[in-house]
Amino acid sequence: MKIAIKINCNILLSVVFCTALVPSAYAGGDIFLPCAQQYPGDDAERLKCYDRLAAPASALTPAARKNIVPDENGEASTTPATPAAVPTRSTERSYLTRAWNLDDLSNRDPSKLGRLQPYRQNYLVVNRTSNPNRQPSSPLIDHNASAPRDMDAAEVKFQLSFKADIGDQRNIDFLGIKTFRMWGAYTQQSNWQAFNIRNSSPFRETVYEPELIATLGTGHVSGLKLINLGWVHQSNGRSLPESRGWYRIYLLGGWEWNDTTSIMVRGWQRIPENSLKDDNPDISDYLGRGDLVIRWEPKDKSQAIAMLLRNNLSRTHNRGYEQIDWATPVRFGDAARMHIQMTSGFGESLTDYNHRQNTIGLGFSFREW
């Protein structure tokens, strides 16, 4: 008697369940019919089949993502569901593509700190200058140091630079532009008199540089790959007489060839300031009106060489700045590279914007594209 009741209960439950699914099956074009055909005598498997068809794809495990469809003879067959095409990261992404995510293949979670990406070089070097700027000056009288500073020629120089995308638009086709991406960026460069123990090893200067950058991608495999429109503020946060700072807007073009060589050309215009608040009215005459960055890295990534050229574009009083960086992986880890940096000219730091010197540094660089 108990066996009969149990069998009848199972039959009743199956009838109720199937009855509840009948409207859905007809509404969906008999999507549940293949389950009944595939498992005519197996209630448990048939119910699992119904669950798989009724559940959203996102709620199923990869193993459960199967779709039961009739074959060409009308017979039911089990085939894996075909997932939507998902872009996969190529192992041969070029430098500009990686740096500005031109192919939209970033694997970082946009809801976490993982969205932070490298911007400029991140490095730490021991630096030595040929001509320490012991008495910084500016055309304004109250911006001139009253007495020479006790400084060492050797110091520690380090830079931290990162960016994060804050919005994008894809599938654009307007005047050769295919994608748009907005970035917020921040760069901080510090010069630390670490060996100046007699003066408590002070920080000589820290320069703060926030930016907003709009990247327009062309979709080209080589040649012109991006155009950047940017707003940037740069200041050292110091009080008088060593306060320095300025605002700029710029236009940058990025070219690349053979996935190894890239060139970025940038021109800027200083945003005018009130003459009473301008710490350095002649800064454009020294830090220039544009720069050029050439970078080369072989495909085996055994080394990377970057050269920065900056110039004021003046025929009568031409002034400039050159910087060469060379980095190669070191044995104790892939995250760090041995780094050599050489500079010459005006503006090695913001306080030194009108001071000429040559420097050489040796240390490490970290997390560059």
Q: Across all residues in the chain, what is the average pLDDT?
A: 81
**134 in Cβ contact with 148 (< 8 Å):** yes
pLDDT for residue 93? 83
When pLDDT is averaged across residues 68-80 and rounded to a whole number, the result is 47
Q: Which residues are catalytic?
A: 233, 235
pLDDT for residue 78? 47
Q: What is the DSSP string of 268-288?
A: EEEPP--TTT-S-TTHHHHH-
pLDDT for residue 36? 66
Digit-coded pLDDT (tens) for 170-193: 888 888 899 999 999 999 999 999
Model pTM above 0.85: no
Residue 351: closest CA among 156, 148, 191: 191
Digit-coded pLDDT (tens) for 305-337: 999 999 999 999 999 999 999 999 876 666 788
* In the chain, domain spans: 2-80, 95-366
Assigned CATH for 95-366: 2.40.230.10
Q: Looking at the predicted structure, is the pLDDT value of residue 29 above 70?
A: no
pLDDT for residue 306? 96
Among the residues of 28-94, which ranges form H helices?
Answer: 33-38, 43-54
Residue 54 pLDDT grade (very low, low, confident, very high; cuts 50, 70, 90): low
pLDDT for residue 112? 59
pLDDT for residue 114? 57
Residue 82 pLDDT grade (very low, low, confident, very high; cuts 50, 70, 90): very low
Q: Is 252 helix (H, G, I), strand (E, B) or coil?
A: strand
Cα dihedral 88→91→97→102 (10° resolution) = -10
